Amino acid sequence: MQVLKLTINGKKHELLVDEHEMLSKVIREKVGLTGTKIGCEQGSCGACTVLVNKEPVLSCITPAMRFDGAEITTIEGVSKNGELHRLQEKFVEKGAIQCGFCTPGMVMTALDFVNKNPNPSVHEIQDALSGNVCRCTGYKKIIEAVAEYAQEVKGEKLKVKSPETTKGTVGVPRPYIEATKKVQGIADYADDHKFKDALHVKFVKSIYPHANILRIDASEALAMQGVRYVATGKELPITFGVLPLSQDETAMAIDKTRYAGEIVAAVAADTEEIAAHACKHIKVKYEPLKEFLTIDDSLNDIGTAEKIHDTTKFNNNIHKKAELRFGDQQQGLKEAEVALKMDFEMIGINHGFTEPHASTAFWDENGLTMISATQVTHYLHRALAKTMEVPLGRVRVIKPYLGGGFGGKGDPFAHEIIVAHIARKTGKPVRVKLSREEVFLNNHGRHPTKMTIQLGASKDGFLKVLDADVAIDGGAYGSFGVVTSYYNGVLLQAPYKLNNFGFRTFRVYTNKPQCGAMRGHGAVNTRFAVESMIDEIAHKIKMDPVEMRMKNFLEPNSLTVGQYRITSNGIKQAIKTVTEQADWKNKHGKMPHGHGFGVACGFFISGSALPIIWNELPQSVVHLKLDFDGRVLITSGANDIGQGSDTMLAIIVAEVLGISMDKTFVIAADTLITPVDLGSYSSRVTFMAGNAAKDAAENLRKEISNAIAKKKNIAAEELHFSENRIFSNDKSVDLSWDEAIEILTANRGAVNVSGKYISPKLGGDFKGAGAGLSPSYSFSSCVAEVKVDTETGHVKIVNIWGAHDCGKAINPLAVEGQLEGSWHMGMGQVMTESMDYYNGLLINNNFLDYKIPTSLDTPPIHTNIIESIDPEGPFGAKETGEGAIHAVLPAIANAVYDAVGIRITKLPIKADEVLRLLKEKSKKEIAI
Amino acid sequence: MEFNIINPKTKSELLKTIRKEKHFRFGAGCTDLLMELKKNSDEGLTVINLSQVKDAQFNGVKKSAKGIRLGAMLTAHQIVMNEDIKNNFPVLHEAALSLASTQIRQVATIGGNLCTASPSGDMACALVTLEADCEILGANGKARTIPITDFFTGVRKTALKKNEVLYGIFIPSKKKKVKNITSRFIKIGARRSMECSVVSLAYHIQTDETGKIIHAGVAIGASAPTIRFAKSACGFLIGKKFKNISQREKEEFAGKVLSYASPITDIRATAWYRKEVLFNISKAIFE
């Protein structure tokens, strides 16, 4: 230990620190300024950026002792006298903040950059921010915020109007209600919550992909000073999993381990360092088993080897087979004048959210409380009750601010169950924070996929048949995999009319980290294949691929072949918008070699019509409480994971009641306080929780109307609610909101009302009919422009035009953010992202080698919101969080085809592969 | 990850520390070192932090008629901002600018980039092209100078002996009669930032007033166990007019560059790709 002197945000500190302690840790743990975030601990994400002597420094890879005597500015030191810095205001205004986890680092980097470069170009801003990873925004709004700030610094007056922040109207673009908190670094995420006397947990992880565990010797670890508990698998024998169908996981491996990285033991100690050190002294004796690492290995009969799970039906590692057929595919193939059969292969990818998982658990007279970075408090609640063997009423789950999910925080996780268990055993609060490496090993990301697709059409471009034969690599456990298996197929039955359609999906277990749900769940890879093949067929029949798609789109208010009810449908407007904007007619097929344009479409569910755990609870309930102070408290179990659902709830309630946003207050995702909402998955929250909020607000409005009607002797129907007033047409009643509340609460006190959403009964009565059923569907289209460097094989995305039919944008700023983030994420999967394994070991488990596109790799994104006004969505709204991703991947690949004539069938598009294909192609052409 | 850290403040304190400590590593920007220590923690290790040593020769830039001497502790950011380097040795400017990210460039040093001895070191590749010399300081305070090509002895191996520290790098000035310099750093990678080179090509070609090449430096990175100086390719160019090099000559030049490559297939790219691209970008430098 040494004494370290630092001046942080103008305040002097003398601190006792370990020589090897990182500056980030000193700032967060010793000084208590948790605005500085830890995203990777490898200097690859920028979330920990602080200014040291006015220079940007990555505090997570900088030993604090290097900076003895330095002056440090953290995010908490940026705003002055209770006023946001102008750059922070810009971040808020422009919607540059979604989950907010990257925001502090982003602000620090940008602030330093603009100070030193007062007149930057957009390219220079992109370059400056390229060491800061943002997974939510696609960087567009961040770059805009920085650019506008720089213009202001230069003294240029901007004609930009600040978004209206008080008027509660649906359709007005507005920042998230918590944006000012996030931009100052004072929003607390899971790892920012501190507890007295808490223990820290670290894990011993399997080094073999598949092995029997013969012995675990923790005696040395247990004897260490500061070690309080060592847990092993046998203590937690109850299985769990997000789906009732595949409860195939235990919190720690018992008897055998199924992937390299699986938790085998957990150490709780006074500090993280002690726990980590003790883990190294736990001796585990393994007996390696034959491992299964590929789809093909796991599809085949395994002979005398041991299966990954002994619960699977046959002598192979197939977890689930899903198959549905509609119409007559043989007949369809006969009718098709052009039929293609193509193979595709996609590597698995990870969500890449910036906030690593973190949880704290403690037990008291109320049972278990868990604060965790989760997208689904409700399912975690159930899983904890099950595994802890306590009644549901003895568990409380709280989601604090959450640094992105994208599906990756949508399961109950082993680490959550382990800390709950150790907290009970030790009687102390127990914390855990996963390292970035552990986040990758935890995975639950997009399934690696291999498929063979047959698509046939008539010469005049009408689709006749689609048959998809798909195999997906599930990794070691079930997760959402059964749903993924169906979604790979069923979500191909729109946006095009298909009479003869079928699919078969095999999901296999392999000895790798498990795969699960990720933005665009299950449908992204098969959608890529089908959209690529439509492009190919259009090329073969010499038809513009836009025209061909136009011929095949399903109409609004129609049924798909598998009996999905399509209601609102803005697909035609979407494709029209993007192709016009991109000048498609003059560009596609008309550019010089190496330069091309591609188009594609997509569609997605707006919430699953069926709950995961079958019961008759509404899918969402929202409570409102209105008391004497006139403020409406909105409580909802919906998890705001950075997508802006808290803001959406407040907007809807304010709209119905005609009040300003400052008269609303949202408490969400605390299972003790808030009514059940199933959580943030399947793009359900705006549709379902939004409808529940609308229902609740309408009920509250009735209560207020009735009270006033009674008091003022007027018919309740005559009353209008607008701009914080309640009035009748003839103004015989004209009350301020506060006056109205006085009438409402007289002799009664606070009024509580409830609203709910229950999906209508939908779908056919065949087995599997429930998969992909949704009360509404979103539609989208993208055009991509690329340049292919024929010397290096490098594909550069020049422009993305996107349009998404979200029904109605409740908050257009948030919708744009979701769309831009989706397209950016899609670009990542199609261009650079892949989880790479070597003999079952994940080798790129960090943000340097797992390549999320940086701000410098992100092209201009042109965003269009299409509003088809859904008949059942709240104010016509439907999903926007996931659907947009589908079209962008094939649009880019189709643009590559247009540029150089290469059909991409493997993702990501590697320069290596492009160069090889270019070479093969030119050889063939020479041969001809 | 546990280690002790020592912060010498002067050159003599540094030398004293080197003489005293038994089991130590030098930490310059620490960006690579910490990643390594996080993976393989080395008990009882001392990190000698070089960033607080106040010494003009260690931290500064010195120009002379013969060339420019860069202190080993200059950061990539300082290199990027240096006008002399930008004007006279653009290849080094570009290499420094292509390194990782803003924040990393702030602390990553040119000395660290050399001592890490990664085959894909960006600034290192530029310095090989520039035929720089490495000035090495012994614990006794005596310096020795070796050509940079002798500095790299293998993957992550250098000619530094125990108790020696890289003190500075000397880049010779342009040759007499030089009129123009074509000097670039080409980095091939999947992303445009936060990227480790898949292949890199650095060249610094000096022409006289007639456009004739009178001196050439060409080096390749991420293509062999060490960064290689493509000597025969350089020799091939001498006497040719930069703007009049025929297609056949371009390919011959690229072939000569390629003869120095013995790449491997790894997570980032296949050996085939590295060779193919190296050939393509080499022949394209005259366009």
The model's pLDDT over A178-187, given as tens digits with 9 standing for 90+, comes to 999 999 999 9
What is the dihedral angle through the alpha carbons of A850, A854, A857, A860, rounded to the nearest 10 degrees?
130
From B153, B172, B191, the end of a domain falls on B172
Look at residue A166 and tell me whether its pLDDT is greater than 50. Answer: no
Residues B143 and B209 in one domain: no
Question: How far from chain centre, in Å, is Cα A38?
Answer: 19
CB within 8 Å: B30 and A66:
yes
Which positions ≥6 away from A773 have C-beta within 8 Å?
A564, A605, A608, A609, A610, A762, A763
Could you give the ipTM of this predicted complex?
A: 0.95
Pick from B103, B192, B196: CB nearest A49: B103
For residue B284, the number of C-alpha atoms closer than 13 Å in the C-beta half-sphere is 15
Distance from CA of A348 to the nearest CA of B (A): 15
CB within 8 Å: B281 and A792:
yes
pLDDT digits (tens, 9 = 90+) for A659-707: 999 999 999 999 999 999 999 999 999 999 999 999 999 999 999 999 9
Pick from A65, A131, A851: CB nearest B103: A131
Buried b / exposed e across A422-454, counting CB within 10 Å, b at 16+? bbbebebbbbbbbbbbbbbbbbbbbbbbbbebb
Look at residue A161 and tell me whether its pLDDT is greater than 60. Answer: no
CATH 3.40.50.620 fits A199-289+355-403+409-442, yes or no: no
Return the biggest CA–CA distance within chain B.
Answer: 61
CB within 8 Å: B193 and A791:
no
Number of domains in chain B: 3
Q: What's the pLDDT at A17?
A: 94
CB within 8 Å: A857 and B193:
yes
pLDDT digits (tens, 9 = 90+) for B67-107: 999 999 999 999 999 999 999 999 999 999 999 999 999 99
Give the model's confidence band at A159: pLDDT under 50 very low, under 70 low, under 90 confident, else very high. low
Spell out which residues of chain A touch residue B103, defining contact as CB-CB under 8 Å. 43, 46, 49, 56-58, 109, 131
CB within 8 Å: A794 and B51:
no
Angstrom distance (rounded) from CA B194 to CA B99: 7
The residue type of A254 is I
CB within 8 Å: A912 and B284:
no
CB within 8 Å: A915 and B106:
no
List strands edge to edge, sheet with B4-6.
B4-6, B46-49, B24-27
Tokens coding A882: 């996931």
Residue of A58, A68, A843 to mutate, testing the B interface (most B Cβ within 10 Å of its Cβ): A58
CB within 8 Å: A131 and B31:
no
User: What are the boundaries of each domain within chain A?
Assistant: 34-62+70-187, 199-289+355-403+409-442, 449-609+766-922, 620-757
Angstrom distance (rounded) from CA A516 to CA A506: 14
Spell out which residues of chain A touch residue B4, defining contact as CB-CB under 8 Å. 19-20
CB within 8 Å: A20 and B269:
no
Q: What's the pLDDT at A160?
A: 56
Distance from CA of B146 to the nearest CA of A (A): 30
Residues B156 and B80 in one domain: yes
CB within 8 Å: B47 and A41:
no
**B254 inside domain:** yes
B170 touching chain A per CB within 8 A: no
Q: Which residue does chain B place closest to A846, by CA atoms?
A: B35
H or E segment to which residue A829 belongs: helix A812-831
Mean pLDDT of A372-395: 98
Mean pLDDT of A404-424: 98
Number of other CB atoms surrounding residue B243 within 10 Å: 8
pLDDT digits (tens, 9 = 90+) for A82-133: 999 999 999 999 999 999 999 999 999 999 999 999 999 999 999 999 999 9
B145 touching chain A per CB within 8 A: no
Mean pLDDT of B272-276: 97
Spell out which residues of chain A touch residue B277, defining contact as CB-CB under 8 Å. 791-793, 911, 915
Phi and psi at residue B100, to the nearest 5° = 35, -115
Residues B113 and B209 in one domain: no
Spell out which residues of chain A touch residue B50, defining contact as CB-CB under 8 Å. none
Angstrom distance (rounded) from CA A292 to CA A306: 10
Q: Which of A94, A198, A88, A74 is nearest to A143 (CA)?
A: A94
B248 touching chain A per CB within 8 A: no
Tokens coding A69: 């005597």
CB within 8 Å: A66 and B51:
yes
Q: How far apart are the first and last CA of chain A?
A: 74
**B258 inside domain:** yes
pLDDT digits (tens, 9 = 90+) for A482-505: 999 999 999 999 999 999 999 999
Tokens coding A303: 């002979």
**B117 inside domain:** yes
CATH code of A449-609+766-922, in short, is: 3.30.365.10
Q: What's the pLDDT at A156?
A: 82
pLDDT digits (tens, 9 = 90+) for B166-219: 999 999 998 789 999 999 999 999 999 999 999 999 999 999 999 999 999 999
Look at residue A59 and tell me whether its pLDDT is greater than 50. Answer: yes
Average pLDDT over all residues of chain A:
96
CB of B116 within 8 A of CB of B196? no
pLDDT digits (tens, 9 = 90+) for A754-795: 999 999 999 999 999 999 999 999 999 999 999 999 999 999
CATH number at residue B129: 3.30.465.10
Q: What's the pLDDT at A368?
A: 98
Give the model's confidence band at A19: pLDDT under 50 very low, under 70 low, under 90 confident, else very high. confident
CB of A485 within 8 A of CB of A469? no
Angstrom distance (rounded) from CA A612 to CA A676: 13
CB of A39 within 8 A of CB of A47? yes
Mean pLDDT of A633-647: 98
Number of other CB atoms surrounding residue B56 within 10 Å: 10
Give the model's confidence band at A169: pLDDT under 50 very low, under 70 low, under 90 confident, else very high. confident
Spell out which residues of chain B touch residue A143, defining contact as CB-CB under 8 Å. none
Q: Which of A429, A443, A467 is nearest to A323 (CA)?
A: A467
B265 touching chain A per CB within 8 A: no
**B55 inside domain:** no
Beta bridge pairs of residue A795 = A788
- Three-class secondary structure assignment of chain B: CCCEEECCCCHHHHHHHHHHCCCEEEECCCHHHHHHHHHCCCCCCEEEECCCCCCHHHHCEEECCCEEEEECCCEHHHHHHCHHHHHHCHHHHHHHHCCCCHHHHHHCEHHHHHHCCCCCCHHHHHHHHCCCEEEEECCCCCEEEEEHHHHEEECCEECCCCCCEEEEEEEECCCCCCCEEEEEEEEECCCCCCCCCCEEEEEEEEECCCCEEEEEEEEEECCCCCCEECHHHHHHHCCCEHHHCCHHHHHHHHHHHHCCCCCCCCCCCCHHHHHHHHHHHHHHHHC
CB of A367 within 8 A of CB of A671? no
Angstrom distance (rounded) from CA A29 to CA A21: 11
**B107 inside domain:** yes
CB of A146 within 8 A of CB of A110? yes
CB within 8 Å: A794 and B188:
yes
Buried b / exposed e across A371-410, counting CB within 10 Å, b at 16+? bbbbbbbbbbbbbbbbbbebeeeebbbbbbbbbbbbbbbb
Count how many pairs of residues, chain A against chain B, have C-beta atoms within 8 Å.
134
**B264 inside domain:** yes
Helix (H, G, I), strand (E, B) or coil at A104: helix
Residues 188-217 of B with CB under 8 A from A: 188, 190-196, 198
Burial of B225 (0-12, 13-18, 19+ CB in 10 A): middle
Q: What's the pLDDT at A770?
A: 93
B272 touching chain A per CB within 8 A: yes
For residue A97, the number of C-alpha atoms closer than 13 Å in the C-beta half-sphere is 30
Residues B211 and B132 in one domain: no
Average pLDDT over all residues of chain B:
95
**B49 inside domain:** no
Q: In A67-130, which ranges are E strands?
A: 71-73
Spell out which residues of chain B touch residue A111, defining contact as CB-CB under 8 Å. none
**B56 inside domain:** no
Number of other CB atoms surrounding residue B161 within 10 Å: 10
Helix (H, G, I), strand (E, B) or coil at A818: helix
Spell out which residues of chain B touch residue A915, defining contact as CB-CB under 8 Å. 273, 276-277
Residues B68 and B166 in one domain: yes
Q: How far apart are the first and last CA of chain B?
A: 50
From B172, B192, B221, the end of a domain falls on B172
Residue of A3, A41, A61, A788 to mutate, testing the B interface (most B Cβ within 10 Å of its Cβ): A61
Q: What's the pLDDT at A20?
A: 87
Angstrom distance (rounded) from CA A42 to CA A133: 12
Pick from A65, A130, A915: CB nearest B273: A915
CATH code of A34-62+70-187, in short, is: 1.10.150.120
Distance from CA of A417 to the nearest CA of B (A): 27
Beta bridge pairs of residue A320 = A507
Angstrom distance (rounded) from CA A686 to CA A880: 9
Q: What's the pLDDT at A554?
A: 98
Angstrom distance (rounded) from CA B275 to CA A577: 43
CB within 8 Å: B194 and A844:
no
Distance from CA of A129 to the nearest CA of B (A): 7
Q: Which of A310, A411, A419 is nearest to A358 (CA)?
A: A419
From B155, B172, B189, the end of a domain falls on B172
Q: Which residue does chain B place closest to A51, by CA atoms?
A: B103
B65 touching chain A per CB within 8 A: no
CB within 8 Å: B192 and A58:
no
pLDDT digits (tens, 9 = 90+) for A29-55: 999 999 999 999 999 999 999 999 999
Which structural domain range is residue B72 located in? 62-172
Residues B70 and B166 in one domain: yes
Give the model's confidence band at B35: pLDDT under 50 very low, under 70 low, under 90 confident, else very high. confident
Q: Is the peptide bond before A775 cis (omega within 30 degrees of 0)?
A: no
Distance from CA of B157 to the nearest CA of A (A): 23
> β-pairing, A55-58 with A338-346?
unpaired
CB of A608 within 8 A of CB of A65? no
Q: Is there a common fold for A34-62+70-187 and A620-757?
A: no
> β-pairing, A795-805 with A861-866?
parallel
Q: What's the pLDDT at A621?
A: 98
Burial of B171 (0-12, 13-18, 19+ CB in 10 A): buried
Q: Which residue does chain B place closest to A47, by CA atoms?
A: B103
Beta bridge pairs of residue A565 = A559
| Residue whose pair of structure tokens reads 């855990």 in the numeric block | A432
Mean pLDDT of A516-521: 98
Look at residue A633 and tell me whether its pLDDT is greater than 80. Answer: yes
| Residue whose pair of structure tokens reads 């191996």 in the numeric block | B157
The architecture (CATH level 2) of A620-757 comes to 2-Layer Sandwich (3.30)
CB within 8 Å: B34 and A63:
yes
